Amino acid sequence: MKKKTRLIHGGVSRDPYTGAVSIPIYQASTFKQDGVGNFKYEYARTGNPTREALEKLIADIEGGKRGFAFGSGMAAITAVVQLFSSGDHLILTDDVYGGTFRVMTKVFNRFGIDVTFVDTTDLNKVKEAILPNTKAIYIETPTNPLLKITDLQAVSTIAKEQNLMLIVDNTFSTPYWQNPISLGADIVLHSATKYLGGHSDVVAGLLVTADEKIGEELHFIQNSTGGVLGPQDSWLLMRGIKTLGIRMEEIEANTKVIAEFLTGHSAVGKVFYPGFESHPGYEVHKRQAEGFGGMISFTVESEEKALTLLNKVQYFTLAESLGAVESLISIPALMTHASIPRERRIELGIEDGLVRISVGLEDVEDLLEDLENALA
């Protein structure tokens, strides 16, 4: 099955009870048992047919064994961290999603989980960070907002040598462009709030495991801690996923055009886009993914200029989040990365005048005209 077909016919595909081609929203918390212990579904935290259809679908399209749906990306990440115990150490990409940084340094640190943040684009730094109690490496590629690329296959080799688990946040690339399990990852996770949902109308998180054993452990954690996704939101996600392929193809085309335009513009400084051959991660990304995605970051002269740009744009919506049908625009230094001290932020390369865009599905000519006017 080709990947666009799998988005539509993967997983459960149609309702086994009625044949409905759209899996119904089973808005039920409990299920009648035919006799004590004789049931297909027991209680909806443990399993619900709508959520289960979504979980089978994401496992299928990521090429894994088991899938799990949670009430948000952060709830999914939390479940993954709960695989570990007090005294364990994890290595994470240094510019991980802000919420991941926060939960690791302000919540899980209180439970004795130690973390080291390293530039995982540098494999030596990854190796140097491994301690006797290290249990996993957690990667984001491309990263936010500078779109740095980590070599998944190479990190997987390091992880396997040292008997470490490899966890990949695949939110930015989506399973349409990148399948980390095929490159050696043990767990893939998504903020499905972004491209998978795709319409700015649902908050959700998804996990996929490469093997059955970690899958069983995660099902135990999901059922024990209870951060499950409801049936209505599970249905919305399945609806979003059906069009993931055509959305990602169109976003890819729009993004290339916009990245080229920005590069040639006199008011723009640096342009960060992994689809440029001059991007330091270009070769690696091209090897491990089939598309470059819809995110671009670029610099203008100052924070003031960036604010003016955001005020002037008409079609780019000033908002957090990404991966929607609407094009979105933000200033990381004042929004998503405001909690990082300025000095550290500049050190990471997140300048005051850095602007991040998530390219949507509007006509690219309108988007170009919008940026042209706003940059003038």
Ligand X SMILES: *Cc1c(COP(=O)(O)O)cnc(C)c1O
CA angle 22/26/31 to nearest 5° reads 140
Instruction: Name the catalytic one among 45, 125, 286, 305.
Output: 45
Q: Which is nearer to ligand X, 144 or 222 (CB)?
A: 144
Assess contact for 250 and 243: CB atoms under 8 A. no
Contact 78, 227 (CB under 8 A): yes
- Exactly one of 51, 135, 194, 256 binds ligand X (CB under 6 A); that residue is 194
Tell me, yes or no, if 194 is annotated catalytic. yes
Q: Examine residue 330 and tell whether it contacts ligand X (CB under 6 A).
A: no
Region of 71-79, 116-124, 243-251, 253-261 interacting with ligand X (CB under 6 A): 71-79
Q: What angle (nearest 5°) sits at the alpha carbon of residue 69, between those of residues 171 and 189?
A: 30
Nearer to ligand X, 64 or 205 (CB): 205
Does residue 292 contact residue 172 with C-beta atoms inside 8 Å? no
Stretch that binds ligand X, among 12-20, 26-34, 70-78, 283-291 (CB under 6 A): 70-78
Q: Which of 47, 73, 198, 240 binds ligand X (CB under 6 A)?
A: 73
Regarding 332 and contact with ligand X (CB under 6 A), the answer is no
Sequence-distant (≥ 6) Cβ neighbours of residue 72 within 8 angstroms: 191, 193, 203, 204, 205, 227
236 makes contact with ligand X (CB under 6 A): no
Asked about 45 being catalytic, the answer comes back as yes
Of 12, 59, 69, 72, which lies in the binding site for ligand X, with binding defined by CB under 6 A? 72
Q: Residue 193 interacts with ligand X (CB under 6 A)?
A: yes
* Closest by CA position to 95, among listed 349, 335, 309: 349
- Active site (annotated) includes residue 169: yes
- In this complex, which beta carbon is closest to ligand X, that of residue 149 or of residue 374? 149
Draw the binding track, 196-215, toward ligand X (x: CB under 6 A; -: no contact): -------x-x----------
For residues 204 and 192, is the Cβ–Cβ distance under 8 A? yes
Strand pairing class (134-140; 165-169): parallel
Residue choice 141, 178, 191, 327 for contact with ligand X (CB under 6 A) = 191
How far is C-alpha 271 from the geometric centre of its chain's CA atoms?
22
Please give the C-alpha separations between residue 366 and each of 158, 206, 313, 360, 375, in angstroms, as whole numbers: 46, 34, 11, 11, 14
Among 50, 171, 173, 178, interactor with ligand X by CB under 6 A = 171
Q: Is 70 in the site for ligand X (CB under 6 A)?
A: no
**What does the alpha-carbon distance between residue 57 and residue 137 come to, in Å, rounded to a whole number?**
26
Contact call for residue 169 and ligand X (CB under 6 A):
yes
Cα distance between residue 359 and residue 262, in whole Å: 13
How many residues at the interface with ligand X, by CB under 6 A? 15
x/- mask, ligand X, residues 107-146, rule CB under 6 A, reads ---------------------------------x---x--
Contacts of 324 (CB under 8 A, 6+ apart): 194, 198, 199, 200, 358, 360
Give me the active site residues, please: 45, 97, 169, 194
Q: Where do contacts with ligand X occur on this chain (CB under 6 A)? A: 72-74, 97, 99-100, 140, 144, 169, 171, 191, 193-194, 203, 205
